[in-house]
Structure 1
Amino acid sequence: MVYIAGEEMTHYASQLIVKEWIKPYFETGAWFEYDLSCVNRDKTGDQVLHDAVAKGAEIGAIFKEPTITPTKEQVEEFGLSSPLGSPNGAMRKGWNGITISRDTIHIDGVELGFKQPVLFERHAVGGEYGAGWKTVGRGKLLTTFHPEKGDPLLVDSRDLDNDHNVAVVYHNPLDNVTDLAHHFFSRCLESEVVPYVVTKKTVFKWQEGFWAIHKSVFDEHYKEKFAAKGLLDGTGGELQHLISDAATMQIIRWTGGNFGMSAHNYDGDMLTDEVAQVHRSPGFITSNLTGKREDGVMIKEYEASHGTVTDLWHAHLRGEETSLNPLGLVEAMIGAMQHGAKLELEAGGPAENFEKVMTWTTTLRKAMHNTFRYGQGTRDLSGPTGFTTEDFIKKVAWRLERYLIQGEDETAPELSEPDRAFRRNHKVDDEAVQEMFASYDTDGNGSIDLDEFTNLLVKLGVAPQKVENKGKEADI
């Protein structure tokens, strides 16, 4: 597979994981490694990024550590000769990106946010990210399309009567949405979750195509299969469309999970951040880019959904203890290794290699999850007594070796949801919470009864609503 190294705390943790968990069992000489740190990208004139993209397309299985897109201040801090763009755009284009799958990660016995899985597909191309723009004044703005053959087509014409405007132009490619729809519905069917397609097509009429393609693929290939499993019982027997506004509300209401959403690039970016927060943090969702090579081979790049965890890196550099939860990183590593083994098997490689990779990755996940469940996790789940970054990795390495050698199947204890006060970004204003509580405790008895609780939910806008006209779309 291709291994893309990144920066800061996640790079440090990833190197420990490779050393302690992987190299005792695997020869990693077949990995193609690329250093995408800012300093090395600058040193190579970004050739290392182009090389990594090319090799990723060739191999088809990629693990990526979080990387930095430097700010103006970081350009000076790192001594870079020029600003560097995000590598993600080059990767999504070079690997014919179709979708970025961001799913909730679950640990048996530990309730994190959603009780059951939530699957999400974010269209990997198009939208604001590649937009062209200029700051302009008064005048006429024309957007004209020049086809490869035929006459030019005026897309839009408008008069700008403000002295200060920003003109923005972007487009949404639709050719690969059919592949996206098949990928989405196949995963939802396998996981037995209810699928929803999210757009703002009631207002943004140009988004109709995204929905129409999904609907066509669903009706022709998947509708009967979903119905047979009872997954359309609550949607009137049809594929349900959600306006993006409604999706933001449903995500915080449907904490039981068991649903999937497919959305445009920008909507998917925002909504998956919301999914992550409901499910505790970005460390508890996956982020997998799926592309398609010209010969039909699926390219898959796996990474953690979070960044380089700069605050812990600075603490590490100061010699302080850190407690980084590597769950998202390890799920990405597992995914890349499993996909690489699958591609090797399909290319005629030995079945023994595939079986060993699958056994090892499955056992690693079990060892890591059980370590959390025994209360031996990092401090975001286990509190102040939790392990440091280094000690957690050593503890999992110890348990992994036991499981692999002895085939031991220990049963870890069932745990309730860990206190969210353990999170590093927990900055709740206790006095403000007390004031808020008092405003809803209308009789002042120190507790909130059902009527007061209902009033609270209504005022916060999160009260569950009665479902009417099932199967029909509402413009919310």
Structure 2
Amino acid sequence: MAEKIQMKVPLVEMDGDEMTRVIWQQIKDILLTPYIDLKTEYYDLGLKKRDETNDQITIQAAEATKKYGVAVKCATITPNAQRVKEYNLKQMWKSPNGTIRAILDGTVFRTPIIVKNIKPFVKTWDKPITIARHAYGDIYKGVEMKINTKGKAELIFTDQDGHVTKEVIHDFDGSGIIMGMYNLNKSIESFARACFNYALDQRQDLWFATKDTISKKYHHTFKDIFQEIYEKEYHDKFSAAGIEYFYTLIDDAVARVIRSSGGFIWACKNYDGDVMSDMIAAAFGSLAMMKSVLVSPEGYYEYEAAHGTVTRHYYQYLKGQETSTNPVATLFAWTSALRKRGELDGINELVQFSDKLEQAAIDTIEAGIMTKDLALLAKGDKKVVNTGEFLEEINARLEHGTR
């Protein structure tokens, strides 16, 4: 066995829930700790621990990301009423991803992982489409209310001098619901700059889309801030790089995306990005074949899998049944975080190891060895294996390439 790669600065490691938590440990045991003297600042973001700490551990993990600069996160449960009962929770805790994004004020970039034997459902897409998702505010910080009787709902703002501004939301003649949400110009400006910088770094066109024709203040503010920053700071840089920025309505963007050949960055507001990244992932093949990174204005990076905790497989696992759960997105969260740590700390061996491990995973799938979800999509000869066997196959190729 060759000497392990040494790390200088720890990664912030955020453990998660259910099947992805199991896979998290398997990846470390099979593909990471045999090769790397893995240094992490560990936070258990499993639902039980979040409940025990009144969700303070999520805040601590986000603050640690600010300290160390790079984090890797396992998929976590955002509890609904059924989960509150199942896990006997104190309350319906908020999304840990939403909490972390609010603290880091970052932008989420999600890009499909491409393999030759899985073709996109949209036949014209021959290059990956990256979704840039604003990761602050909107419904993820929304305040909701159920209305059970007649009455008037108002939007009220009281400024620091005590002046009050009101807008009538609706005169209710019966029961209904209300939601109030917000955003900050500063956060939108950070989102815009992150998107422009990422487009320059990738040398790809940038699209931005909202529904400003309907939302003439909220959505229109996003549009105006993007345009102002582009004209003042990025127009000449984009021209020099030979790339384009343009704005369009969200419904027009959807039509353009379907007709495109890919190879661009599509910037979306928070909820739009949540939905569209799932659509892009599914159309390219699988949510488990999606890279995801949260980038803050200060240069903090948090890598994660874009999918959920794979509950159905976890219940099978608890019964002792074999599962064929795709670990690729979780693996690439680790490799991406390790690569960034290596780049920041000047550890070329760590960067090269991350590249080789990703290539070994792609080579395994392209050799026809894959989990069940991919076998349903892939062309040519294929062999379905369980999760552990798939990781061992990757390890065999990694060893062949690194010995």
TM-score by length of 2: 0.88
The CA deviation at 1:123 is: 1.0
In the alignment, which of 71, 85, 98 is matched to residue 89 of structure 1? 98
In the alignment, which of 217, 230, 233 is matched to residue 218 of structure 1? 230
In the alignment, which of 38, 43, 51 is matched to residue 34 of structure 1? 43
2:138 is aligned to 127
The CA deviation at 1:302 is: 0.9
Instruction: Name the SS for the 1:103 alignment partner.
Output: strand
2:6 is aligned to none
Q: Any stretches of 5+ residues in structure 2 without a counterpart? A: 1-10, 377-381
Query: Matches of 2:47 and 2:144 in 1, distance apart?
Result: 26
Query: Matches of 1:381 and 1:159 in 2, distance apart?
Result: 48
Kindly report which structure 2 residues correspond to 1:432-443, keeping only aligned pairs within 5 A, or say none: none
- Is 1:363 the counterpart of 2:371 in the alignment? no
In the alignment, which of 95, 108, 115 is matched to residue 100 of structure 1? 108
1:400 is aligned to 398
Instruction: Name the SS for the 1:175 alignment partner.
Output: helix
Instruction: Name the SS for the 1:11 alignment partner.
Output: helix
Instruction: Name the SS for the 1:106 alignment partner.
Output: coil
1:471 is aligned to none
In the alignment, which of 6, 29, 32 is matched to residue 16 of structure 2? 6
2:259 is aligned to 253
Q: Which range is displaced more, 8-17 or 271-280?
A: 271-280
The CA deviation at 1:173 is: 1.4
Q: Which protein shows a greater Rg?
A: 1
Letter in 2 for 1:53: A
Aligned CA distance change for structure 1 residues 260 and 50 (closer, same or farther; 3 Å): closer
Kindly report which structure 2 residues correspond to 1:54-453, keeping only aligned pairs within 5 A, or say none: 54-95=63-104, 97-108=105-116, 110-113=118-121, 114-136=125-147, 137-148=149-160, 150-158=161-169, 160-206=171-217, 207-232=219-244, 239-254=245-260, 256-292=261-297, 296=298, 298-343=299-344, 345=345, 351=346, 354-382=347-375, 385-405=383-403
Counting strand residues as a fraction of each chain, which structure ranks higher?
2
The CA deviation at 1:34 is: 1.2
Query: Matches of 1:359 and 1:84 in 2, distance apart?
Result: 39
Letter in 2 for 1:376: I
Query: Matches of 2:172 and 2:368 in 1, distance apart?
Result: 63
- Please tell me whether the aligned partners of residues 57 and 94 of structure 1 are also in contact (alpha carbons under 8 angstroms): no
Query: Matches of 1:47 and 1:231 in 2, distance apart?
Result: 43
The CA deviation at 1:311 is: 1.4
Aligned CA distance change for structure 1 residues 230 and 6 (closer, same or farther; 3 Å): same
Letter in 2 for 1:289: L
Letter in 1 for 2:253: A
Instruction: Name the SS for the 2:126 alignment partner.
Output: coil
Aligned CA distance change for structure 1 residues 112 and 38 (closer, same or farther; 3 Å): same
In the alignment, which of 26, 47, 50 is matched to residue 16 of structure 1? 26
TM-score by length of 1: 0.75
The CA deviation at 1:151 is: 4.2
Q: Deviations over 1:382-402 (max 9, x none)?
A: 357322111110111111111
* Percentage identity across paired residues of the two chains: 28
Letter in 2 for 1:132: V
Aligned CA distance change for structure 1 residues 170 and 46 (closer, same or farther; 3 Å): closer
- Please tell me whether the aligned partners of residues 144 and 152 of structure 1 are also in contact (alpha carbons under 8 angstroms): no
Query: Matches of 1:47 and 1:140 in 2, distance apart?
Result: 37
Letter in 1 for 2:155: T
Query: Matches of 2:129 and 2:42 in 1, distance apart?
Result: 32
- Please tell me whether the aligned partners of residues 276 and 282 of structure 1 are also in contact (alpha carbons under 8 angstroms): yes
Q: Which range is displaced more, 301-310 or 104-113?
A: 104-113
Query: Matches of 1:386 and 1:42 in 2, distance apart?
Result: 37
Letter in 1 for 2:339: Q
The CA deviation at 1:380 is: 2.4
Letter in 2 for 1:215: Q
Letter in 2 for 1:59: Y
Query: Matches of 1:60 and 1:244 in 2, distance apart?
Result: 33
Query: Matches of 1:77 and 1:158 in 2, distance apart?
Result: 37
Q: Deviations over 1:156-199 (max 9, x none)?
A: 13550422232322112121222222221222233332211111
